[in-house]
Structure 1
Amino acid sequence: MAISSTIQVGLSACLSGMAVRYDGADKRSDVCLNIIATHFDLVTFCPEVAAGFGIPRAPMHLIGNIEFPALQYRDGGHEDMSTELKNAIESKLADFSNLDGFILVQNSPSCGLVDVKVYQEEQEVYLHQGQGLFAAALRERFPRMPLVEERQLHELNVREQFIAQVQAHHDTRTQEST
């Protein structure tokens, strides 16, 4: 089955080779750029850059309650950066209504989909494994949109399943809008 190249899939910007990570580096993904991009148009987004956190920036982590974690710099500063990040995400979410999937970078306090460490207050020990704030917002706003971490796409069966889910989401979304 031919898949239309007009289908758009979101991509954590660092996976596209953009140097937007906290350390000024990227996490360029060959599987996204050489395989997924042959099926879909990729739309990049970095929530931390959208929030104005700058490049480079101090590393951040999630802390506190797993349901409503706070985003703080790891250097011991206690400033909660969650509001700035959530505002940037909220201002952009409507633009993602035309996307049919999203590929996220793992372990990120913003984009991580699973196994993101949520630390105890004032501790170096993490209590829980949750999801990043942007991933959580995507799940809440678009519960039927296929979401995947880039690392999962290295497995052929997961990659093929994601491609099929994106196509199905696109077909359903476009039928509902007509």
Structure 2
Amino acid sequence: MLLSPLEGEMKCPVKPLVAISRCLLGDPVRYDGRSRGDDFIVKTLSAVFEWAPVCPEVAIGLGTPRPPIRLVSRRDGVHVEGVDDPTRDVTGALGAYARRFAEAFPSVRGCILKARSPSCGLGGLPVFSANGDVVREDGVGEFARVLSEFRPGIPCIDEERLRNAQQRDAFVRNVLRATGNKNGSLVGQNGRFG
């Protein structure tokens, strides 16, 4: 895995705007009050992208720290509910915030979201039954799901997939192409980004 700083020849004349989970930038906004700052994102990708920081759970008023939430399968679909208080259903609030975010940031060209988050996770999340059993593991965070409906085709990745050089390169190229860089070029002497 190549996680070296950007080399001098890796320059982009205009930094594309990328939505990013605030916890990945080091903000202590996770449910437990901690951050998940990612050095590669903060030190390397910040040289390439302009950030539109987002924490949907804080934005809808859940606060920090906060009781955890999870995806729950109901008759009418998957809901985002409190783990300890299933009457706390924030599905609608997260979806509405995703719509407002998409409208407020039309120039966002990509997203880096927190893996395994019930609001930001891009896939593979556990979906629980009402009694707490895992019924499947193909859930998508509600903010991420609704945002992708409003911005179909926008390049999205989580911090775990960024560790894979091929996925990272593809993400960077796709964001650059969405910004108008026709060939998505931003690579070092080794032919790879990062």
1:65, CA displacement in angstroms? 4.8
Match of 1:27 in 2: 36
Q: What is the number of equivalent residue pairs in this alignment?
A: 172
Q: Structure 2 CA distance, aligned partners of 1:126 and 1:27? A: 28
Match of 2:94 in 1: 85
**Residue 4 and residue 65 in structure 1: after superposition, are their counterparts in 2 closer, same or farther (change >3 A)?**
farther
Q: Report the aligned-residue RMSD.
A: 1.9
1:36, CA displacement in angstroms? 1.3
What letter matches 2:56 in structure 1? Answer: P
Q: Structure 2 CA distance, aligned partners of 1:73 and 1:57? A: 10
Runs of 4+ deviating beyond 4 Å: none
Moved more, 121-130 or 153-162: 121-130
TM-score (norm 2): 0.82
Match of 2:16 in 1: 7
Q: Which stretches in structure 2 are left out of the alignment for 5+ residues?
A: 1-9, 182-194
Q: Structure 2 CA distance, aligned partners of 1:68 and 1:90? A: 19
1:43 has 2:52 as partner: yes
1:66, CA displacement in angstroms? 9.8
1:101, CA displacement in angstroms? 0.4
Match of 1:148 in 2: 157
**Residue 77 and residue 121 in structure 1: after superposition, are their counterparts in 2 closer, same or farther (change >3 A)?**
closer
**Residue 29 and residue 130 in structure 1: after superposition, are their counterparts in 2 closer, same or farther (change >3 A)?**
same
Residues 36-75 of structure 1 aligned to structure 2 (within 5 Å): 36-65=45-74, 68-75=77-84
User: Contact 1:120–1:127 at 8 Å: present in 2 too?
Assistant: no
1:67, CA displacement in angstroms? 8.5
1:160, CA displacement in angstroms? 1.4
Q: Structure 1 CA distance, aligned partners of 2:127 and 2:153? A: 25
What is the CA deviation profile of residues 62-103 of structure 1, one whole-angstrom value per residue up to 9, with x for unaligned ones? 101598311111114333221222222222221221011000
User: Contact 2:127–2:136 at 8 Å: present in 1 too?
Assistant: yes
Match of 1:132 in 2: 141
Q: Structure 1 CA distance, aligned partners of 2:150 and 2:118? A: 18
Q: Which stretches in structure 1 are left out of the alignment for 5+ residues?
A: 173-178
Moved more, 69-78 or 100-109: 69-78
What letter matches 1:147 in structure 2? Answer: C
Match of 2:189 in 1: none
Structure with greater proportional helix content: 1
1:112 has 2:121 as partner: yes
What is the CA deviation profile of residues 98-141 of structure 1, one whole-angstrom value per residue up to 9, with x for unaligned ones? 01100011000000001111111222323232210011012111
1:167 has 2:176 as partner: yes
User: Partner of 1:159: helix, strand, or coil?
Assistant: helix
TM-score (norm 1): 0.89
